[in-house]
């Protein structure tokens, strides 16, 4: 197959031979690791006849025998993707010896080295970089593993499942043998051989079995792992309580590694994590880091059932495990946030804060993806490089689709569907149809129309219109839907959209909802199911015109188009009983104000913030009866990435001018209010990661941001004091972030002091890199951010081969700083092309992620597009560019 040929979902075929058992023997050595694999291959009754197909990538084949004998002439063929072996028996034993060079593997896929240890990453297709194998998720086998390595440099030898045996060997080497009692696909295989120490805990599972939990890290990091361990215990309990799912192994391990392409990986019983999502203590991690550790630990742990016990038939079904598992980790986080609340209203607000963060992420990351050349359904129909499809669409939109099932079926109905899914499919590799089929069967409902969410790309627009009939006391709501065309999908069909609706009375209280023909009293929030292009609902028994509150809790991943006056938005900001929608009313109002300011900036008109908006904003700022975490979210502007897509055509410079103007104007106008909230919010006592404390710190940092944006000397003084006296990273980082955007001399000193303090600390230095790459100035001073980023690349702590460093510094510039990256002289694009090409030589996955920063280039003004095109073309024309990057730039240019 020539490179660039798409792989099609419709072409799925089971393999003629699968694998019953795998026995792996690793002689680990940095430059020449020898892998012996003994496979029992068995004929697959359900597949057409054919050879044994083994995939292999960059392997040196040392030897291969078939039932103990050398292959006969022509029996073994080398193909583009690996090997094919003709056999006639129904069961055949293969012994394959390969040699690989982990020290030269900078892709971080397959077996590689990091800080002297050996680690693996096999999802999606890394196992074939270790040995020849039918490396597909529908081949599930029993694995046993023997590892042998140098005892001094690699005292710890880990693999999946249960430890059977360890022992010393001659020449300072030692070995361990592991057995995984569960069937698994090769992408869940893992090994670790390194110098690590573990924090251990023993807990009893719901059935009373004692299990051993371990978090393995380098010895110097042992003071940063207790939160990950706590998170693991919380996750284990939550899955028991909410889904009745128990840990199935006697031992569950988490291992931290500094060089890792993604967040973490759910290998059976041996989760491997990017250190960023394991390590956190008050001095090094912000509240957000603590929250991320908790949710990533939960995510990987939850995969044990949704992903591992039941896995994907093929990679097109990725959202089967990822959408469902993201949904589960989001529910878990919401429960963790609410657990400290002392009233139902406080719990609802705490849950809404999690929901707000999820939706902010969706709007900033997934909506632009769905509007660009990489738009794909949550279950794609084709791909060129599977590693490019670990996307916000598959993950975040996939989670929204699962959440809609919960909304449609209710808690109990959803749980029944999950139970049925496990009862039918435990130990199998299945499809999204199988999952939705279980939801339908368990609830006796038809979800055929719902399946369109799996096949249609693009963000649907939901249009709402209301008509008030004063004489009849009725309100008719008409909902219509439209999904814009996306690449390869010009015409869209209507989707099944659950729309949670409330009607607010003139006094601000929710009204009971009674549809024409129904007897009251009704609930105050109801879910309307829109299944057609357009439909109306009439609510009756109303004495005054209501204000609609639509899509409560963000009940579907759509863009809501509704003509709402400024007054109505302000009214909902003050009264909407749904905390998510209360927040969203503010976001809509801000969006309107910012887009108008950006238009003024583009046209050279003076910028002015409408007074009415200021009033609505201030009402939230000074309301100390509200949960601080909620207020912090309510005061935060919509993300720049989301706003850019709302400006048509997109133009980063006036948008940035609008954001700066609005932030400064609010900071100036409400200086006294920001200051008094700032002073009141101080959290006393020792740091603890707790939602209430974190909420206060978030709001306090938000106040500091507005105050320093407004630029007074007092504000700089406050920020400097906070920086110097901070008792934890959230405060220290919040103050540094505020100072970095100022022109005050304290800026340089703070950056320097932070650097000094955390010199040897890779994860904290990532924050320092990222902050500088993503920063701008509140004043008119034009910082040369590009020059700064280039200078920082020369810092000894920076390295192009460490993904975290690249994501922090280059990602911070390309993705988090549009106005600087899209500078008018085009120098940002030349730098982008140069870095993508350089990264691609070693690590195509990381290069491809950086390449994606320009995929949405057609949304910009023609002048900007003209400056971007040559950079895209340069990368596309580069000799030897990886399939990963080729797919991104190819689709961008097509």
Name which of ligand 0A1, Zn ion, none residue 98 binds, using a CB cut-off of 5 to 8 Å depending on partner kind: none
β strands within 151-195, DSSP E:
156-159, 162-168, 173-179, 191-194
- Calpha distance 101→858 (Å, rounded): 42
The residue (of 758 and 807) whose beta carbon lies closer to Zn ion is 807
Name which of ligand 0A1, Zn ion, none residue 41 binds, using a CB cut-off of 5 to 8 Å depending on partner kind: none
Q: Which of 125, 148, 218, 300 is catalytic?
A: 300
The residue (of 325 and 524) whose beta carbon lies closer to Zn ion is 325
Secondary structure of 789-851 as H, E, C letters: HHHHHCCCCCCCCCHHHHHHHHHHHHCCCHHHHCCCCCHHHHHHHHHHHHHHHHCHHHHHHHH
Smallest distance, ligand 0A1 to C-beta of residue 424, A: 23
Report residue 818 CA to chain centroid gap. 20
- Calpha distance 185→173 (Å, rounded): 30
Smallest distance, Zn ion to C-beta of residue 379, A: 15
Of 253, 120, 251, nearest in space to 187 by CA: 120
Smallest distance, ligand 0A1 to C-beta of residue 803, A: 10
The residue (of 300 and 578) whose beta carbon lies closer to Zn ion is 300
Name which of ligand 0A1, Zn ion, none residue 263 binds, using a CB cut-off of 5 to 8 Å depending on partner kind: ligand 0A1
Of 774, 800, 782, 798, nearest in space to 853 by CA: 774
Smallest distance, ligand 0A1 to C-beta of residue 275, A: 14
Q: Report yes or no: 365 and 289 within 8 Å, Cβ to Cβ.
A: no
- Give per-residue burial for 505-519: e unless 16+ CB within 10 Å, then b: beeeebbebbeeeee
Name which of Zn ion, ligand 0A1, none residue 264 binds, using a CB cut-off of 5 to 8 Å depending on partner kind: ligand 0A1
- Calpha distance 679→626 (Å, rounded): 17
Smallest distance, Zn ion to C-beta of residue 264, A: 8
Smallest distance, ligand 0A1 to C-beta of residue 300, A: 6
Report residue 22 CA to chain centroid gap. 33
Residue 283 in tokens:
């001095």
Smallest distance, ligand 0A1 to C-beta of residue 112, A: 11
Name which of ligand 0A1, Zn ion, none residue 390 binds, using a CB cut-off of 5 to 8 Å depending on partner kind: ligand 0A1
Q: Report yes or no: 806 and 274 within 8 Å, Cβ to Cβ.
A: no
- Calpha distance 76→72 (Å, rounded): 8
- Calpha distance 260→766 (Å, rounded): 14
Q: Mutual orientation of helices 883-893 and 862-876 as an angle, nearest 10°?
A: 150
The residue (of 263 and 610) whose beta carbon lies closer to Zn ion is 263
For binding to Zn ion (CB under 5 A), which residues are involved?
A: 322, 325
The residue (of 254 and 262) whose beta carbon lies closer to ligand 0A1 is 262
CB closest to ligand 0A1, residue no: 262
For binding to ligand 0A1 (CB under 6 A), which residues are involved?
A: 109, 121, 123, 261-266, 299-300, 322, 387, 390, 845
Smallest distance, ligand 0A1 to C-beta of residue 77, A: 29
Mapped onto helix, strand or coil, the DSSP state of residue 24 is: strand
The yes-or-no answer on residue 300 being catalytic is: yes
Report residue 286 CA to chain centroid gap. 18
Name which of ligand 0A1, Zn ion, none residue 262 binds, using a CB cut-off of 5 to 8 Å depending on partner kind: ligand 0A1
Distances in Å between the Cα of 836 and the Cα atoms of 409, 641, 853 are: 45, 21, 10
- Calpha distance 323→439 (Å, rounded): 15
The residue (of 34 and 114) whose beta carbon lies closer to ligand 0A1 is 114
- Calpha distance 633→699 (Å, rounded): 8
- Calpha distance 191→184 (Å, rounded): 14
The residue (of 262 and 792) whose beta carbon lies closer to ligand 0A1 is 262
The residue (of 399 and 560) whose beta carbon lies closer to Zn ion is 399
Smallest distance, ligand 0A1 to C-beta of residue 262, A: 4
Smallest distance, ligand 0A1 to C-beta of residue 265, A: 4
Residue 7: in which H helix or E strand, if any?
strand 7-8
The residue (of 107 and 770) whose beta carbon lies closer to ligand 0A1 is 107
The residue (of 317 and 481) whose beta carbon lies closer to ligand 0A1 is 317
Name which of ligand 0A1, Zn ion, none residue 123 binds, using a CB cut-off of 5 to 8 Å depending on partner kind: ligand 0A1
The residue (of 390 and 733) whose beta carbon lies closer to ligand 0A1 is 390
| Greatest Cα pair distance in the chain | 95
Smallest distance, ligand 0A1 to C-beta of residue 272, A: 8
Name the strands in the sheet holding 91-100, side by side, starting at the edge strand that comes first in the sequence: 60-66, 91-100, 33-43, 17-27, 142-150, 173-179, 162-168
The residue (of 266 and 400) whose beta carbon lies closer to ligand 0A1 is 266
Name which of Zn ion, ligand 0A1, none residue 125 binds, using a CB cut-off of 5 to 8 Å depending on partner kind: none
Identify the residue whose tokens are 């089929």. Answer: 437
**Omega into 521 within 30° of 0, i.e. cis?**
yes
- Calpha distance 849→835 (Å, rounded): 12
Name which of ligand 0A1, Zn ion, none residue 121 binds, using a CB cut-off of 5 to 8 Å depending on partner kind: ligand 0A1
Residue 397 gets which letter from DSSP?
I
Of 639, 859, 883, 841, nearest in space to 107 by CA: 841
Within 8 A by CB and 6+ apart from 709, the residues are: 660, 663, 664, 667, 741, 778
Smallest distance, ligand 0A1 to C-beta of residue 187, A: 8
Q: Report yes or no: 389 and 315 within 8 Å, Cβ to Cβ.
A: yes
The residue (of 317 and 325) whose beta carbon lies closer to Zn ion is 325
What is the number of other CB atoms lying within 10 angstroms of the CB of residue 13? Answer: 9
Of 223, 283, 225, nearest in space to 731 by CA: 283
Smallest distance, ligand 0A1 to C-beta of residue 845, A: 6
Q: Which residues pair with 251 in a beta bridge?
A: 212
Mapped onto helix, strand or coil, the DSSP state of residue 203 is: strand
Catalytic site residues? 300
């Amino acid at each position: 197959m020539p490179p660039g040929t798409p792989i099609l979902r419709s072409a799925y075929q089971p393999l003629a031979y699968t694998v019953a058992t795998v026995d792996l023997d690793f002689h680990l050595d940095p430059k020449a690791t020898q892998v012996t694999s003994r496979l029992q291959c068995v004929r697959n009754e359900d597949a057409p006849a054919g050879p044994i197909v083994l995939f292999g990538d960059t392997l040196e084949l040392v030897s291969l025998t078939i039932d103990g004998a050398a292959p006969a002439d022509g029996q073994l063929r080398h193909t583009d993707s690996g090997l094919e072996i003709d056999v006639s028996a129904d069961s055949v034993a293969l012994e394959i010896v390969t040699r690989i060079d982990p020290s030269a593997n900078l892709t971080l896929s397959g077996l590689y080295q990091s800080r002297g240890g050996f680690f693996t990453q096999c999802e999606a297709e890394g196992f074939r970089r270790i040995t020849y194998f039918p490396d597909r998720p529908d081949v599930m086998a029993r694995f046993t593993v023997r590892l042998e390595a140098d005892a001094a440099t690699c005292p710890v030898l880990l693999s999946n499942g249960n430890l059977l045996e360890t022992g010393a060997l001659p020449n300072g080497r030692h070995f361990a043998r592991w057995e995984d009692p569960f069937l698994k696909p090769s992408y869940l295989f893992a090994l670790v051989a390194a110098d690590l120490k573990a924090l251990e805990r023993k807990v009893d599972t719901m059935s009373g079995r004692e299990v051993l939990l371990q978090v393995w890290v380098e010895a110097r990091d042992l003071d940063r792992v207790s939160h990950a361990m706590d998170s693991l215990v919380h996750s284990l309990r939550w899955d028991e309580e909410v889904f009745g799912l128990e840990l199935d192994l006697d031992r569950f391990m988490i291992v931290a590694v500094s060089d890792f392409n993604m967040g973490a990986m759910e290998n059976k019983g041996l989760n491997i994590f990017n250190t960023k999502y394991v390590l956190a203590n008050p001095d090094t991690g912000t509240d957000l880091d603590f929250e991320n550790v908790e949710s990533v630990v939960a995510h990987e742990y939850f995969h044990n059932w949704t992903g591992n016990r039941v896995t994907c038939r093929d990679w097109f079904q990725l959202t089967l495990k990822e959408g469902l598992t993201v949904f589960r980790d989001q529910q878990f986080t919401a429960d963790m946030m609410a657990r400290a609340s002392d009233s139902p209203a406080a719990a609802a607000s705490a849950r809404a804060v999690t929901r707000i963060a999820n939706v902010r992420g969706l709007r900033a990351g997934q909506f632009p993806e769905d509007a660009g050349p990489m738009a794909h359904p949550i279950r794609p129909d084709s791909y060129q490089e599977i590693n490019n499809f670990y996307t916000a669409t598959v993950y975040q939109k996939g989670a929204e689709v699962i959440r809609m099932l919960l909304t449609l079926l209710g808690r109990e109905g959803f749980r029944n569907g999950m139970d049925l899914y496990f009862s039918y499919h435990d130990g199998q590799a299945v499809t999204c149809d199988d999952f939705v089929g279980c939801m339908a069967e368990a609830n006796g409902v038809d979800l055929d129309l719902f399946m369109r969410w799996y096949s249609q790309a693009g963000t649907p627009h939901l249009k709402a219109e209301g008509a008030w009939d004063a004489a009849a006391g009725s309100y008719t709501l008409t909902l219509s839907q439209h999904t814009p065309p996306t690449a390869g999908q010009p015409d869209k069909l209507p989707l099944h959209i659950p729309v949670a609706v409330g009607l607010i009375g003139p006094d601000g209280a929710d009204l009971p909802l009674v549809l024409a023909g129904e007897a009251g009293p009704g609930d105050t929030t109801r879910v309307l199911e829109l299944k057609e292009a357009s439909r109306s609902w009439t609510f009756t028994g109303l004495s005054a015109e209501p204000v609609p509150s639509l899509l409560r809790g963000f009940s579907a991943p759509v863009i809501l188009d509704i003509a709402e006056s400024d007054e109505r938005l302000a009214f909902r900001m003050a009264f909407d009983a749904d905390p998510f929608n209360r927040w969203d009313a503010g976001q809509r109002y801000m969006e309107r104000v910012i887009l108008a300011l950006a238009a003024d900036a583009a046209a050279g008109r003076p910028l002015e913030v409408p007074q009415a908006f200021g009033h609505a904003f201030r009402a939230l700022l000074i309301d100390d009866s509200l949960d601080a975490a909620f207020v912090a979210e309510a005061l935060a502007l919509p993300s720049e990435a989301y706003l850019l897509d709302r400006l048509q055509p997109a133009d980063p410079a006036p948008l940035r001018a609008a954001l700066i103007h609005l932030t400064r104007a609010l900071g100036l106008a409400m200086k006294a209010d920001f200051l008094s909230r700032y002073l009141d919010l101080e959290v006393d006592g020792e740091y603890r990661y707790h939602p209430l404390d974190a909420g206060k710190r978030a709001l306090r940092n938000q106040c500091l941001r507005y105050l320093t944006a407004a630029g007074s000397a007092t504000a700089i003084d406050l920020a400097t004091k906070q920086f110097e006296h901070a008792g934890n990273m959230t405060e220290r980082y919040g103050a540094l972030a505020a100072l970095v955007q100022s022109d005050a001399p304290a800026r340089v000193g703070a950056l320097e002091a932070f650097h000094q303090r955390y010199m040897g600390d890779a994860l904290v230095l990532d924050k320092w890199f990222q902050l500088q790459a993503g920063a701008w100035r509140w004043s008119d001073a034009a910082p040369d951010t590009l020059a700064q980023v280039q200078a920082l690349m020369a810092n000894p702590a920076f390295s192009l081969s460490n993904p975290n460093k690249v994501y922090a510094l280059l990602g911070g510039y390309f993705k988090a700083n549009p106005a600087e990256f899209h500078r008018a002289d085009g120098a940002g694009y030349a730098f982008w092309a140069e870095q993508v090409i350089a990264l691609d030589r070693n690590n195509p996955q990381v290069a491809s992620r950086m390449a994606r920063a320009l995929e949405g280039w057609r949304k910009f003004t023609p002048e900007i597009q003209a400056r971007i095109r040559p950079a895209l073309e340069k990368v596309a024309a580069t000799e030897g560019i990886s399939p990963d990057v080729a797919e991104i730039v190819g689709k961008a240019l097509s």
